[in-house]
Amino acid sequence: MIPLQCPPLDAGWSRRVLTVLALMVIGSFVAFGSNLKHVHTGALVALNAFALALCAYYFWLLFRRLQCSLVELCLVIGMLGNVEGILLTTPSLMGSPGMWALLPLSAAWIVAGAVKSSAQCALLGITAPLRRAGMLLLNWMLLASPALLLAGGVLYFGQHMAEAFISRGMAEWGFWMIPLGALGCIVGVMMEIRVTRAARALLGASAS
């Protein structure tokens, strides 16, 4: 990981724009909670705008402000190709405009994982390509673990209440997603503590 210059990694306004868009997504659900049609339209517009902005932000960080090894680049390209390819080749998915947000959101997840992994490697002093690749995979998992935990909970515990929507097979998947997501969350918190401590030490040393 190589920060090329000393100025701040990103511009403050870009973070604010993204935060406003994220709030709009949350707001669209809260404001139109009783009207499915408005939730559908509002969430579609806000989520797509947010997802595209998030993609742009992380892509810019990854390719303009950071550098990664060839192994990591290959992994990012491979993951992007697979996930986007799966979505694009899923029958009937393109028939639903609401699903379009999934494409930029999944791309944002992959690039955000790559950015976070690069940052953690730099702060922890990890330089070996294979270890950096491992960190990349771990970060994708950690970013997805709350979603895994929540989705697993909904599938496993919601099956009895909504068996028309959740089959038994889906509930069985949910059973395994819960511990996996919980483990990911725990590891994620531990990793955050460790990296934050390293970052603060670095900031403290530079201030002194």
How near is the Cβ of 41 to other proteins at its closest, in Å?
Answer: 9
Are the C-beta atoms of residues 118 and 68 closer than 8 Å to each other? yes
How near is the Cβ of 136 to other proteins at its closest, in Å?
Answer: 12
How near is the Cβ of 96 to other proteins at its closest, in Å?
Answer: 4
How near is the Cβ of 187 to other proteins at its closest, in Å?
Answer: 16
Total residues interacting with other proteins, rule: CB under 8 A:
86
Residue 105 binds other proteins (CB under 8 A): yes
Residue 185 binds other proteins (CB under 8 A): no
Query: Which of 53, 151, 57, 51 minimizes the C-alpha distance to 99?
Result: 51
- Please spell the DSSP secondary structure of 152-195, one letter per residue: HHHHHHHTTT-TTTS-HHHHHHHHHHHHHHHHHHHHHHHHHHHH
Query: Which of 157, 149, 151 minimizes the C-alpha distance to 181?
Result: 149
Distance between CA atoms of residues 56 and 53, nearest Å: 5
How near is the Cβ of 142 to other proteins at its closest, in Å?
Answer: 11
Are the C-beta atoms of residues 7 and 63 closer than 8 Å to each other? no
Q: List, as own/partner pairs, every contact residues 192-197 make where C-beta atoms lie below 8 angstroms and the sequence separation is at least 24, other chains included.
A: 194/124, 195/119, 195/120, 195/123, 195/124
Residue 175 binds other proteins (CB under 8 A): no
Give the CA distances from residue 161 to residues 84, 151, 164, 166, 180, in Å, rounded to whole numbers and listed in that order.
32, 15, 9, 9, 23
Among 102, 114, 133, 135, binds other proteins (CB under 8 A): 102
Positions 18 through 57 that interact with other proteins (CB under 8 A): 18-19, 22-23, 25-26, 36-37, 39-40, 47, 50-51, 54
Among 88, 186, 190, 202, binds other proteins (CB under 8 A): 202
* Residue 10 or 137 having the CB closest to other proteins: 10
Positions 121 through 150 that interact with other proteins (CB under 8 A): 121-123, 125, 127-129, 132, 143-144, 146-148, 150
Positions 50 through 89 that interact with other proteins (CB under 8 A): 50-51, 54, 67-70, 73, 83, 86-87
Residue 194 binds other proteins (CB under 8 A): no
How near is the Cβ of 44 to other proteins at its closest, in Å?
Answer: 9
Distance between CA atoms of residues 153 and 179, nearest Å: 10
